[in-house]
Structure 1
């Protein structure tokens, strides 16, 4: 985790903060705005892909890596990065005090990021609406979240992977056919003969091949947040990626990656395999499919290291901590679902009353 980045205001010397939804740094003290320039050439280079094979062999150009001071949070395992003369900070995930170590780690630089589009107030409003839509959520927690401490803005590390794939498969195609049979049924106590259609499946061995080009397969490069949380925040509009600049981090925190490139590639291949499986089923055709074997070759593999914006909050209510994340681009929300015991009890009681009324009406008929 990179501690909150500070940039001094040219007018008053106070800290500047990136203004979400804009391309400016704003001074909360005097209102001064400082524009963040973006060079077309820098954007083109940043959005280009890096060769995955070179990176896995530690043969990337030296300009694509950097030495950072890192310490792993002893409580949650987040990778805390330290900039400049900073030697102590607080983990934004669990608020544990963390002190800088003496060593440095060589890491791949972020190439691009999606700047925050939502302000903290807008993100809080999205979270409050989400909590309010959960009927079994405690009303007190909704109010507490609305009036509680500010959300933390965090840039979370991701890998994106591109690849060309060619897959050979073996399986079976199932085709439906029907036969007619005669059955005897009881109608008003009397047996009657009827005919009915019976469906069968004829299986035929098949084999073949499919090919697909994958672009920007997204893989979370952190273990600090549950993957189910971050996946629920998708989709991201990666067309909004811009060249990495420390200016966008002003007033925010950026997390270092803890999922290495090789592990990220493995996860990307798993995601690709799911898509390829659907391609194979479509290629087999028929009414049903059985896929018994798929062998895939990956080529032209490239990657990017990017940062995506998330607003995060953790609230303690009635002795329990609830954690929520908000997509800083779209406002989509995910978190630990809270439950209200009295609302659940009321719903059960209401269901029993309705069931009793229905039973009473049935007996009266």
Structure 2
């Protein structure tokens, strides 16, 4: 059962609760990108300002972009997309997300005095499902490198002491390197890659992480009352980004395997096997507001409630604070000088 965040209507979700979200073979999907069983036709709403794309309900011809607040209009052409495999439902109600926005605005230091009033009047919290790719993959990596061990040796150092040259033994720490080769292996599960470029990665990262173990099999009913962004990162490009994430973890594995006090990696070669993927929709609450010609965003993780916002600063308040700090520092220096 899912409840609309705007009108309160409750909709029974079709499908069995015991269904599992099936991982799809990546190589097969890339070879058959237009497979009828994998894709579906979608009507699109397109933002002309930030280029974000959204799923359009039947008959919907326009709307407001949740990312930048600009008007969005229907694209007359239909697009064929890989359909979603799973969805993480909203766990944070709209009222709580709205309260998070108010509390965040009220707690801002050095914000313009009229910011809260203008932002609350303009910002409208919207529930949105964002598209992500998740990738699973078995990896094995052969590497060459060197292990560094710190050793201390004593070397003679001659210096002048009270007009005389004196030679003393001084400890010097250095690394002694030993060539090493080896192999590490790791199974990656649900490496998460954002599939829509419109919302900056910094905003998503600061809004926390999602637990993809709670993903449910996709059904259109989950989207009742919410907007769904469409992906614009291709499946192959998403896997390239996932490989970048995996390489960072593999490098850490190699360094642990080399051991010692320091490590050098001179060469590595990774084999990628049995790669699979899912197209999943993850929940966020988004509000966009404009202040003095600039657009700012506020994002709430729809699963955990963690929030992050962009904000303007008041130059005047910062300047007054600096002047106050300088005045206090000057007064302290004056008092110290009189009592010294």
TM-score normalised by length of structure 2: 0.87
Counterpart contact for 1:145–1:315, Cα < 8 Å: yes
Counterpart secondary structure, 1:100: strand
Aligned to 2:24: 50
Aligned to 2:58: 84
Counterpart contact for 2:137–2:188, Cα < 8 Å: yes
* Match 1:345 to one of 304, 315, 319: 319
Question: In structure 2, what is the Cα distance between the partners aligned to 1:360 and 1:124?
Answer: 49
What's the CA shift for 1:354? 3.9
Question: In structure 2, what is the Cα distance between the partners aligned to 1:27 and 1:197?
Answer: 69
Aligned to 2:134: 160
Question: Residue 176 in 1 paired to residue 150 in 2?
Answer: yes
Q: After superposition, what is the alpha-carbon deviation per residue over 1:85-142, rounded to whole angstroms, capped at 9, x for unaligned?
A: 3344443333444443443222111111111111222112223334445433335324
* Match 1:304 to one of 256, 278, 296: 278
Question: In structure 2, what is the Cα distance between the partners aligned to 1:79 and 1:101?
Answer: 9
Aligned to 1:14: none
Question: Residue 314 in 1 paired to residue 292 in 2?
Answer: no
- Of 53-62 and 209-218, deviating more is 53-62
Change (3 A) 1:162 1:337: same
Q: After superposition, what is the alpha-carbon deviation per residue over 1:180-219, rounded to whole angstroms, capped at 9, x for unaligned?
A: 45676999xxx99986532211122222111100000000
Question: Residue 237 in 1 paired to residue 214 in 2?
Answer: no
Aligned to 1:117: 91
Q: After superposition, what is the alpha-carbon deviation per residue over 1:210-261, rounded to whole angstroms, capped at 9, x for unaligned?
A: 1100000000000111112112223211122112122221111001111010
Change (3 A) 1:205 1:104: same
Question: In structure 1, what is the Cα distance between the partners aligned to 2:281 and 2:105?
Answer: 27
What's the CA shift for 1:81? 3.2
Aligned to 1:271: 245
* Match 2:190 to one of 216, 222, 241: 216
Aligned to 1:327: 301
Counterpart contact for 1:120–1:150, Cα < 8 Å: no
Question: Residue 24 in 1 paired to residue 11 in 2?
Answer: no
- Of 283-292 and 334-343, deviating more is 334-343
Counterpart contact for 1:36–1:247, Cα < 8 Å: yes
Question: In structure 2, what is the Cα distance between the partners aligned to 1:339 and 1:185?
Answer: 58
Aligned to 1:69: 43
Q: After superposition, what is the alpha-carbon deviation per residue over 1:318-353, rounded to whole angstroms, capped at 9, x for unaligned?
A: 443322211111122223242122331133123323
Question: In structure 1, what is the Cα distance between the partners aligned to 2:206 and 2:172?
Answer: 42
Question: In structure 1, what is the Cα distance between the partners aligned to 2:220 and 2:176?
Answer: 62
Change (3 A) 1:318 1:298: same
Counterpart contact for 2:147–2:180, Cα < 8 Å: yes
Aligned to 1:20: none
Question: In structure 1, what is the Cα distance between the partners aligned to 2:75 and 2:316?
Answer: 48
RMSD, aligned CA:
3.0
Question: In structure 1, what is the Cα distance between the partners aligned to 2:6 and 2:50?
Answer: 32
Structure 2, gaps ≥5 residues long: none
Structure 1, gaps ≥5 residues long: 1-22
Counterpart secondary structure, 1:63: coil
Aligned to 1:36: 13
Question: In structure 2, what is the Cα distance between the partners aligned to 1:28 and 1:71?
Answer: 20
